[in-house]
Structure 1
């Protein structure tokens, strides 16, 4: 089973989803990418995933163009806000899904509030991807 998770920057939501989905089974090949990849994974995403027992500190953002010629069982977009356009993937894909989430890196306020937003989105990603895994891949 081969799954590609797409977002714009590939620095936060797609990386967290990648980490969770990979943790559910070693029989799934999980990749993530963005249409405009950031330079690095958001450190707050790394921190809140570590709190959940998953280490994504070695993940790096990738450009979706790296994967366009590969076949995929699932391509899942995770961007959610109305102000953000989700990438369109035109490759060889068996199933396309959208599971949208708020972007915690857009949170403004105290450090405590921002971390609360990262944890909230992390938990939503875990729950929705666990449901996706149980419904489609198990």
Structure 2
């Protein structure tokens, strides 16, 4: 597409976050940037149900969640359906590494989240991201 925005692979996002203000902010930031938020849930059971029901391009999940299970379990459920995961957390664990595309450290700004999603989108397209936000750690190299 000449002089236009490149086509996104990531369009439909599931947010899994048990901090209401963070969930609310993420949902509004993503919608304002043109993403479709297919759901905002705060626990493993609701996340697994949404992953099984919806077409999702990316799961944005915190590692620490209220109730049974955590973001690692959400990533396992997403992986079983072939849905990529970005962990958004204050502390990324080694357990997350084989289950997600990367980890975005909290707290982050709208600009950092947008740039992280742009980098992930480029990565999923097999391209090397132009520049990674300092708060984003990619777990795998782009397939050039």
TM-score scaled by length of structure 2: 0.39
- Which structure has more RCO (C-alpha within 8 Å, separation ≥ 6)? 1
